[in-house]
Amino acid sequence: MKLFGTLLTALLLIGTLSSFDSAKEADKSVRLSSKLNIKKSVSEFNLGDELMYKVEVNINNASGIKGFAKYEDLIPAGFTVVGMHSDFGQASFDSERAKVTFLTMNHKKAIKIIYYLQGELEIQPNSVSMFSYVSGNEMSRLKITATN
């Protein structure tokens, strides 16, 4: 019976330490996201007769992210991405989304992403973007809306 009590105590201690480690990772993630600064702006311009929109995303203080990260914007119906550039990471787009994948963001303090939308509608595209990243073993997601 004494062996069972010792074994149970050891298992409870391991579970407590495991929970403590997860809490430390979650706390690190919260601290990281509070330092992380992401701004998204949308401006319109004319290219000949076409009304176009420039979406600019600035990610600052990202150097604390040591692992994978991804920026993704779901494109509203009626709009098409016609060009995209990121000064870091792998940028890609299709008819439904614009995204940039980062295998690591180590040592990158500032990243700029720019993409252009062509719209059938004469309203400014209003989309919600997501920035996801891995810190330790925890996945975190931040919702980003445009400020003009």
Class of residue 24 by CB neighbours under 10 A (exposed 0-12, middle 13-18, buried 19+)? exposed
Report if residue 11 sits inside a domain.
Answer: no
Q: Which range marks the domain in which residue 138 is found?
A: 32-145
Other CB atoms within 10 A of residue 108 CB = 18
Domain count for the chain, please give it: 1
Tens of each residue's pLDDT in the chain, 148 residues = 443 333 333 323 333 333 333 333 333 334 455 578 899 998 888 888 888 899 999 998 877 787 789 999 998 888 899 999 998 889 999 888 999 998 877 667 789 999 999 987 666 667 789 999 887 788 888 898 887 6
Report if residue 132 sits inside a domain.
Answer: yes
Report if residue 25 sits inside a domain.
Answer: no
Spell 35-61 as b/e; 16+ CB within 10 A means b: ebebebebeeeeeeeebbbebebebee
Report if residue 106 sits inside a domain.
Answer: yes
- CATH at 45: 2.60.40.740
**For position 145, what pLDDT does the model report?**
83
**For position 90, what pLDDT does the model report?**
92
CA distance 72 to 129: 6
CA distance 123 to 37: 27
**For position 34, what pLDDT does the model report?**
54
**For position 116, what pLDDT does the model report?**
93
Q: Is the pTM of this model over 0.75?
A: no
**For position 8, what pLDDT does the model report?**
30
Report if residue 21 sits inside a domain.
Answer: no
